[in-house]
């Protein structure tokens, strides 16, 4: 997406307030959806302002950690990997077969 950012001073103030209220990522995501739904390609960031105004505020329970995985949301519980168990079973079978060959 490439648009002109020539905005009036009041629009810059509004944009700053929207960034503080919603966060940049939410604004970008919304702009992407609006861009895809537009009949003609928007030429100015002004096109997105009305939609951005209608967005809800950021949730107050945002993660405080910024480490790896801090913003990952688990959609379901992960099943444990069976690889370790399969390797263990294979090694045990190999040991039993070796014992039978040597007996």
Q: Where are the domains of the chain?
A: 8-57
pLDDT of 75 above 90 = no
Average pLDDT of span 40-52 = 94
Residue burial 60-97, b: 16+ Cβ < 10 Å; e: rest? eeeeeeeeeeeeeeeeeeeeeeeeeeeeeeeeeeeeee
The burial of 13, by beta-carbon neighbours within 10 Å (0-12 exposed, 13-18 middle, 19 or more buried), is given as exposed
pTM of this prediction?
A: 0.55
Residue linked to tokens 């039978």: 100
Mean pLDDT value across the chain: 86
CA-wise closest residue to 48 among 96, 95, 88, 5: 5
Q: Model confidence at 47, in pLDDT bands (50, 70, 90)? A: very high
């Amino acid at each position: 997406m490439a648009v002109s950012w020539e905005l009036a001073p009041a629009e810059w103030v509004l944009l700053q307030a929207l960034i503080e209220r919603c966060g940049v990522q939410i604004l970008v995501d919304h702009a992407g959806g609006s861009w895809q739904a537009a009949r003609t390609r928007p030429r100015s960031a002004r096109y997105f302002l009305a939609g951005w105004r209608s967005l809800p505020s950021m949730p107050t329970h945002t993660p405080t950690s910024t480490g790896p995985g801090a913003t990952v949301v688990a959609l379901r519980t992960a099943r444990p990997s069976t690889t370790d168990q399969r390797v263990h079973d294979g090694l045990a079978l190999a040991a039993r077969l070796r014992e039978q060959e040597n007996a």
